Amino acid sequence: MPIVQFAPLSSLVQPALWHKLTDLKIDVLKLSDASVPISGSYAAGRSVKDRESGQEISLPCNITVGSESFDSDYSAPHGSVSVAGTLKNFNTIEEFKAADKTAIFNSEAQIVWDTILKTRDTTQLNRFLLITFADLKKYKYYYWFAFPAFVSKPAWEIHDRGWHSAEEELGVDALSAIHVQLTSQSTAFPYFLVRKEPSGGVSIAPVESYETFYASTASENQIIAFLDPSSDPSNPGWPLRNLLTYLRALYPESTSKLRILRWRDTEAPPSPNIPWKSQLGTLSVASTEPTIVDSSSPRPSAVGWEKNPQGKLGPRVADLAPMMDPTRLAAQAVDLNLKLMRWRILPALDLDRISSTRCLLLGAGTLGCYVARALMGWGVRTITFVDSGKVSFSNPVRQPLFEFADCLDGGKPKAECAAASLKKIFPGINATGHTLSIPMPGHPIPPNASSISQAKADVEKLESLIEEHDAVFLLMDSRESRWLPTVIGAAKGKIVLNAALGFDSYLVMRHGARVSSLSTGANGKPHQKLGCYYCNDIVAPADSLTDRTLDQMCTVTRPGIAPIAAATAVELLASLLQHPDRNHAPAPPPNTNASVEANEEEGLSSVLGLVPHQLRGFLGQFKTMPLVGAAYDRCTGCSEIVLQAYEKDGFPMLLQAFNDIKYLETLTGLDKLFEEGESAINDIDWHEEEDDF
Amino acid sequence: MPIVQFAPLSSLVQPALWHKLTDLKIDVLKLSDASVPISGSYAAGRSVKDRESGQEISLPCNITVGSESFDSDYSAPHGSVSVAGTLKNFNTIEEFKAADKTAIFNSEAQIVWDTILKTRDTTQLNRFLLITFADLKKYKYYYWFAFPAFVSKPAWEIHDRGWHSAEEELGVDALSAIHVQLTSQSTAFPYFLVRKEPSGGVSIAPVESYETFYASTASENQIIAFLDPSSDPSNPGWPLRNLLTYLRALYPESTSKLRILRWRDTEAPPSPNIPWKSQLGTLSVASTEPTIVDSSSPRPSAVGWEKNPQGKLGPRVADLAPMMDPTRLAAQAVDLNLKLMRWRILPALDLDRISSTRCLLLGAGTLGCYVARALMGWGVRTITFVDSGKVSFSNPVRQPLFEFADCLDGGKPKAECAAASLKKIFPGINATGHTLSIPMPGHPIPPNASSISQAKADVEKLESLIEEHDAVFLLMDSRESRWLPTVIGAAKGKIVLNAALGFDSYLVMRHGARVSSLSTGANGKPHQKLGCYYCNDIVAPADSLTDRTLDQMCTVTRPGIAPIAAATAVELLASLLQHPDRNHAPAPPPNTNASVEANEEEGLSSVLGLVPHQLRGFLGQFKTMPLVGAAYDRCTGCSEIVLQAYEKDGFPMLLQAFNDIKYLETLTGLDKLFEEGESAINDIDWHEEEDDF
């Protein structure tokens, strides 16, 4: 009698699986190469008729994996049976290649063998193994499936009739009865038992009830059935192998000769003229020494690594890059780079808190351009520029969002041009630009209706922009232009970051948030109110723009200062956003030599480290100096006197501040202080001290 | 008798003057608004014939200023006379507007008056004044000319015949004789005396010889002549005014009635049919009280501010931007921004030394892009990239020379793409990119002829690139790829700057230059040999690339780290180039609290400040730490053992280093050291200490 040959399973991977694996790797697995559960499914084997020859062509015995394969509540599509599996993803191609595949395979086969010995659950008889290496930067996936099947020794043989039509032998009524009973089940059976009843009908039952179901059934009325993924008339599908091993192991006395039904009629034939597809065959095995297995029985050897398209034992590669939308590729690539931070270095990093922060950049010059780039690097998705200028010929070499072409024909508006440039860099960004002049103290609004209504419109525009954003960057080129957004930002409780440049020095600071007397930080201590850009001033901001020489009009700086200050400001924001107190994060004292642990204990550290109040950098000595300055209760920018006057009176109050350089000094009492002389100034409680390095 | 009316002078400014003024302002004047000498010229007045009416139309009496006007050896064009003047350029438009124009004008008039009283030099009788404000960022020039002319009281009157043909009265022979005598002079006379000789001929002489030349000449034979820029038949040109004042002041007895020749025949008529253009007229002035002036005589009042095209007394504006080549505009704008540094802050800064430094950037990733931008900000004109990669989707948000479009179709080659991007930013740059893999120790070259010849070609390419540049930046993403350029750079005596990133930290360093035992620095002390990137290593660089997980392959860093490190590296180069010892500049000791003056005394400071050896930055604490490390005589990168082996054996030595990871350790003796155990390592003379901040 000929030996039974089995049609091997082949993997069918829907591309969605790779996308899911990418997410799993980036967000969950990270650097872990631990095994994770995965599910797939197979259905009854299908064949197609060749249009030329009229011959039936068998399709491969596919195990399909796809988008739901990592779901814990995976269920197979209708008519298919689910297959449990194990995924093992390696971190490097070298590890993938060097992996001990025999050991991995055997441990999967052991799971199946344990199932036979212990739970006897036939849904676990067809497990699969998938080992992978995901090159996430190139969207290339190296993978290799294995479908462990036990080797029967001696081999099964098939009786003379071979595989033949079940319809011819059992009749349409019996097959119909099986079909009806199967479809009444909530899930498909991979395997089932059929019993020809004395009445002439048929019954079915799970394989797990073998002993009871066949207790009083003659062996000629016993038919063992399985959902056969193979449509090859000569070769039953791979799942039969482990079933045979199962039966031989558990019921050796009654299973050396078996009638096997290859069930393929998930759908009954649509008309009486079309034959049923299922086949029957009688298999025998030479019964050597039939012993019931026990928990110590050795596992039979197993085979089942899938061959690659070249017909060799080796991995396959899925290259998804060519089929992906480039914009989506870019978005994923950018995300990936950020998420990698959490793999090894900072699992606690809350990237979404940074990327969801809407940032308003006041000034689209050297600082504005560099700040935008660093924000984009952090994955920030909403960046809005405000500037009143146009791109001039000296800009592109220092302002990294402009190029020569932007300077022609008088120059593009800087804010809009910078926003367009961000989109060219990363199409997924939400970037906009607004050409807007920010009214300033010391620059009186001409007393005519149109000038005043223009100033009012400008103020309202700025108010609504600040309202719509979470963080406001002050990146302008004059002191007084920062006053209005300082006031509005403080009143609205926004994060305000300030960067200002000298020739070879810079100041980067975060404005202190408004504090209520009751509020406390995560460390249980009361919030401290830190100062703003104006807290050190003893006069109100005034016109510093008129009458400037060329070197004062241009920001004359060492070219490296702006990228350093801009990146520092963005990193300060990132650290602040990671601190539990966010905008109220306490500033580390300037002279601290405290250890990382001590700072953490004091509640000074975010996941990213300390959150200083001010940083002054000096390129002449290549040094950076952290400073702390308390808020000043007569400050023209952030004191309650000013904020409450603004909140009470709105635009008329601001108009007074623009027009009358004495107004703010009178309002805050700075004028009296000034009159009282220098001695009074020395009483101000400054904590701004130089670090001693 | 009718009062004599004069045709005023008008300014004719060639655009080249404004370019010269720009250079003068940026390079010489800077913030100074001191008066500077300027020269112009005028020629005999010309008229043109109107084609329609056939009428003669007088052209304006132009004083022309142009490209040579600031030359100290200015000479007027042939046939023109030169006019000395004073330029006063203001720093701001406000100062220009607010200037005390009366005082400025009067001081110029006083110069003319002083000339009359003291030197009697008639070439100084027609001075002019030019006040300007140059808006160099917009190429707009605000200017106002004045041509001070004294007011005669009472006014001069002209006799009945008015201005009439000189040819009719004096005859062709006399005019020809004057013409011949004038053209025999080396320069044109603005004024001259004519004497009718008893013989019937004519003689001419300078006005300065009035007394001797006319000593025995009857007044009817005296003719006072001037080169007349006015071709208006009724109105002589402005220069006559100060001549009349001159003559009345110095020779009051003989000058109340004068025959005046308006000389316009710089060229004699080309044919006898064409009349001579010069005119004669007899002027009288009511002689009130003719007194000889002396040094205390009060200056007569003067007039002469030029009207603008609107016919009003007010400045004119020359807007050169529309007529300029945008590429040239960009080049000038970039230069301007840099040169402004020298106006107020750093007059001693040698910008050319920086801009002429040819920079080779090994690596066109995050660091390479930011380094290139900072170099461009310093005006560096030659930037060359080397990289073997292509632009991928994750690059543009962190690598500021790439955009989304560069990632499509598999990505552009990074080096070439970065170079093209620099040209888009600033067309004047000399930027190139080379796709090149740098061979590395620990990455053996496959032992076949084509691999070896490829490696040889790559090494030769790198050698010639390093040879052609002055500074080499190591900006790659692995340790071992820096080895080959470290060796070649040290052997060739190039400046080598190195930047490397951690997650939230960076290292920026300059490699120490090779030192001969005799060489000393500008401070008289022997050169110290500073370490290189490998001087701290106790094993040779080896393969760190294979078997890397994704987060190790990508440079996983806080996005702000790269711009900070890149800008720091460029500023370190700038400071180094300004130090008299350049690549041998001594490093400040790490724990110094020395004052700026003390550092200067020690020879540690460049114009831009200190030139540290290494800087390590930490974003977690927002601090920067200067370090110093001495060179190590067993260093695999820069020790004499290695450099001399390379110089002696060339490529075969390098090939050994690539292929055999033990070779460099054996060559340098590191292997023995390692065998001798840990104790030996502690003997290494490290000066790398932490600063105490």
Q: What is the pLDDT of residue B85?
A: 95
Beta strands in B80-126 (DSSP E): 81-90
In this structure, what is the dihedral angle of CA atoms A647, A648, A651, A655, given to the nearest 10 degrees?
-100
Lateral strand order in the sheet of A382-387? A430-435, A382-387, A359-362, A471-474, A495-501, A505-510, A614-618, A623-627
Contact B567 A553 (CB under 8 A): no
Q: Is the pLDDT of residue A638 over 80?
A: yes
Query: For all residues of chain B together, what is the average pLDDT?
Result: 90
Residue B345 sits in the same domain as residue B314: no
Residue positions of B annotated with a catalytic role = 554
Which of B29, B553, B564, B616 would best serve as a mutation to test chain A binding (most A beta carbons within 10 A)? B564
Q: Is the pLDDT of residue B687 over 80?
A: no
- Residues from chain B that touch A553, judged by Cβ atoms under 8 A, are 137
Which of A132, A394, A506 would best serve as a mutation to test chain B binding (most B beta carbons within 10 A)? A394
Residue A77 sits in the same domain as residue A204: no
Q: Is A630 a domain residue?
A: yes
Question: Is the C-alpha dihedral spanning A608, A612, A617, A622 positive or negative?
Answer: negative
Contact B556 A336 (CB under 8 A): no
Residue B23 sits in the same domain as residue B101: yes
Query: Which are the contacts of B349, defined by CB distance < 8 A and separation ≥ 6?
Result: B341, B342, B578, B607, B608
pLDDT in tens, B422-480: 999 999 999 999 999 999 998 999 999 999 999 999 999 999 999 999 999 999 988 89
Residue B146 sits in the same domain as residue B193: no
- Residues from chain A that touch B346, judged by Cβ atoms under 8 A, are 503
B372: its two tokens = 């290139």
The total of other beta-carbon atoms located within 10 Å of residue B3's CB is 10
Distance CA A155, CA A2 (A): 10
Beta strands in A253-293 (DSSP E): 257-263, 279-284
> Which residues, numbered 523 to 552 in chain B, qualify as contacts with chain A under a Cβ-Cβ cut-off of 8 Å?
546-551
Contact B337 A554 (CB under 8 A): yes
Please give the tally of structural domains in chain A.
3
Q: Are B605 and B580 in contact (CB under 8 A)?
A: no
Where helices occur in A585-639 by DSSP H, the ranges are 596-601
B242: its two tokens = 């100060």
- Residues from chain B that touch A430, judged by Cβ atoms under 8 A, are none
The chain A residue lying nearest B566, using CA atoms, is: A560
- Of A61, A359, A554, A638, which is the active-site residue? A554
Q: How far is B340 from chain A (nearest CA, A)?
A: 5
Query: Taking Cα atoms as reference points, which of B188, B184, B257 lies closest to residue B229?
Result: B188
Q: Are A175 and A169 in contact (CB under 8 A)?
A: no
Distance CA A427, CA A326 (A): 10
Query: For all residues of chain A together, what is the average pLDDT?
Result: 90
Distances (CA, A) of B424 to B138, B338, B418, B419: 21, 20, 10, 9
pLDDT in tens, A220-264: 999 999 999 999 999 999 999 999 999 999 998 899 999 999 999
Nearest CB neighbour to B554, from listed A137, A504, A693: A137
Cis peptide before B586 (omega within 30 of 0): no
Distances (CA, A) of A390 to A395, A405, A412, A421, B345: 10, 12, 5, 14, 27
Q: How many CB pairs below 8 A link A and B?
A: 280
Residue A250 sits in the same domain as residue A308: no
Distance CA B20, CA B8 (A): 26
pLDDT in tens, A61-90: 999 999 999 999 999 998 899 999 999 999
Contact A393 B570 (CB under 8 A): no
The chain A residue lying nearest B573, using CA atoms, is: A560
Q: Is the pLDDT of residue B678 over 70?
A: no
- Residues from chain B that touch A405, judged by Cβ atoms under 8 A, are 424
* CATH number of A125's domain: 3.40.140.70
Distances (CA, A) of A515 to A529, B258, B400: 6, 90, 39
Distances (CA, A) of B592 to A591, B573, B587: 17, 21, 11
The total of other beta-carbon atoms located within 10 Å of residue B246's CB is 22
Q: How confident is the model at residue A678 (pLDDT cuts 50, 70, 90)?
A: low
> Which residues, numbered 621 to 680 in chain A, qualify as contacts with chain B under a Cβ-Cβ cut-off of 8 Å?
621-624, 626
B393 interfaces chain A, CB cutoff of 8 Å: yes
Residue pointed to by tokens 């100060």: B242
The chain B residue lying nearest A336, using CA atoms, is: B394
The chain A residue lying nearest B369, using CA atoms, is: A400
Q: Are A576 and A611 in contact (CB under 8 A)?
A: yes
Tell me what the mean pLDDT of segment B327-354 comes to.
Answer: 87
B553 burial type by CB count under 10 A (0-12 exposed, 13-18 middle, 19+ buried): middle
> Which residues, numbered 151 to 210 in chain A, qualify as contacts with chain B under a Cβ-Cβ cut-off of 8 Å?
none
Contact B397 A377 (CB under 8 A): yes
Q: How confident is the model at residue A615 (pLDDT cuts 50, 70, 90)?
A: very high
Contact B425 A403 (CB under 8 A): yes
Q: Is B179 a domain residue?
A: yes
Residue B550 sits in the same domain as residue B655: yes
Q: Is B2 a domain residue?
A: no
Query: Which are the contacts of B539, defined by CB distance < 8 A and separation ≥ 6?
Result: B665, B670, B674
pLDDT in tens, A111-163: 999 999 999 999 999 999 999 999 988 889 999 999 999 999 889 999 989 99
Residue A642 sits in the same domain as residue A662: yes
Q: How far is B187 from chain A (nearest CA, A)?
A: 41
Q: What is the pLDDT of residue B516?
A: 78
Residue A510: its H or E element: strand A505-510
Query: Taking Cα atoms as reference points, which of B508, B465, B480 lies closest to residue B615?
Result: B508
Contact A624 B622 (CB under 8 A): yes
The total of other beta-carbon atoms located within 10 Å of residue B322's CB is 8
- β-pair partners for B509: B498, B614
Q: Is the pLDDT of residue B583 over 50?
A: yes
Residue pointed to by tokens 């006319």: B214
Q: At what angle do helices B449-467 and B651-659 cross, to 10 degrees?
A: 120
DSSP, collapsed to helix, strand or coil, labels residue B221 as helix
Distance CA A121, CA B166 (A): 132
Q: What is the pLDDT of residue A516?
A: 78
- Residues from chain A that touch B617, judged by Cβ atoms under 8 A, are 624
Tell me what the mean pLDDT of segment B407-414 comes to.
Answer: 93
A612 interfaces chain B, CB cutoff of 8 Å: yes
Residue A213 sits in the same domain as residue A309: no
Contact A549 B343 (CB under 8 A): yes
Per the structure, the complete domain to which residue B245 belongs is given by: 161-284
> Which residues, numbered 567 to 586 in chain B, qualify as contacts with chain A under a Cβ-Cβ cut-off of 8 Å?
567-568, 570-572, 574-575
* CATH number of A258's domain: 3.40.140.100
Number of alpha carbons in the 13 Å side-chain half-sphere of residue B109: 23
Residue A338 sits in the same domain as residue A427: yes
Q: What angle do CA A334, A340, A341 make, to 5 degrees?
A: 110
The chain B residue lying nearest A571, using CA atoms, is: B560
Distances (CA, A) of B510 to A533, B482, B497, B532, B627: 36, 13, 4, 7, 11
Percentage of chain A with pLDDT > 70?
95
Query: Taking Cα atoms as reference points, which of B268, B264, B266 lies closest to residue B277?
Result: B264
Q: Is the pLDDT of residue A682 over 50?
A: no
A76: its two tokens = 């197979």
Q: Is the pLDDT of residue A371 over 80?
A: yes
Number of alpha carbons in the 13 Å side-chain half-sphere of residue B497: 33
- Residues from chain B that touch A336, judged by Cβ atoms under 8 A, are 394, 550, 554
pLDDT in tens, A200-216: 899 999 999 999 999 99
Q: Is B3 a domain residue?
A: no
Number of alpha carbons in the 13 Å side-chain half-sphere of residue A124: 17
Distance CA A291, CA A248 (A): 9
The total of other beta-carbon atoms located within 10 Å of residue B368's CB is 27
Nearest CB neighbour to B329, from listed A393, A608, A610: A393
- Give catalytic status of residue A638 as yes or no: no
Q: Is B337 a domain residue?
A: yes
pLDDT-wise least confident of A590-599, B67-76, B446-455, B471-480: A590-599
- Residues from chain A that touch B320, judged by Cβ atoms under 8 A, are none
Q: How confident is the model at residue A429 (pLDDT cuts 50, 70, 90)?
A: very high
Q: Are B36 and B23 in contact (CB under 8 A)?
A: no
Percentage of chain B with pLDDT > 90?
71
Query: Which are the contacts of B501, defined by CB distance < 8 A and separation ≥ 6?
Result: B366, B367, B555, B557, B561, B562, B565
- β-pair partners for A606: A609
- Residues from chain A that touch B92, judged by Cβ atoms under 8 A, are 546-549
Q: What is the pLDDT of residue A553?
A: 63
B114 interfaces chain A, CB cutoff of 8 Å: no
ipTM, 2 decimals?
Answer: 0.81
Rg (CA), chain A: 38
At position A316, the amino acid (one-letter code) is R
Residue B347 sits in the same domain as residue B448: yes
DSSP, collapsed to helix, strand or coil, labels residue A103 as helix
Tell me the whole-structure pTM to 2 decimals: 0.81
pLDDT-wise least confident of A335-349, A550-564, A678-692, B75-89: A678-692
- Map A300-356 to HEC letters: CCEEEECECCCCCECCEEEECHHHCCHHHHHHHHHHHHHHCHHHHCCCCCCHHHHHC
Distance CA A527, CA A533 (A): 19
Q: What is the pLDDT of residue A128?
A: 97
- Residues from chain B that touch A547, judged by Cβ atoms under 8 A, are 92, 94-95
Contact B550 A137 (CB under 8 A): yes
Where helices occur in A617-669 by DSSP H, the ranges are 640-649, 651-659, 663-668
> Could you say which of A284, A318, A353 is where a domain stops?
A284
Contact B621 A609 (CB under 8 A): yes
* CATH number of A505's domain: 3.40.50.720
DSSP, collapsed to helix, strand or coil, labels residue B582 as helix
Which 8-state DSSP code applies to residue A413?
B
Q: How confident is the model at residue B88 (pLDDT cuts 50, 70, 90)?
A: very high
Number of alpha carbons in the 13 Å side-chain half-sphere of residue A258: 30
Which 8-state DSSP code applies to residue B91?
S
Percentage of chain A with pLDDT > 90?
71
Q: Is B291 a domain residue?
A: no
Residue A388 sits in the same domain as residue A459: yes
Distance CA A87, CA B243 (A): 106
Q: What is the pLDDT of residue A486?
A: 97
Q: Is B260 a domain residue?
A: yes
Residue A342 sits in the same domain as residue A321: no
Q: What is the pLDDT of residue B660?
A: 92
Q: Is B110 a domain residue?
A: yes
Q: Is the pLDDT of residue A341 over 60?
A: yes
Q: How confident is the model at residue B185 (pLDDT cuts 50, 70, 90)?
A: confident
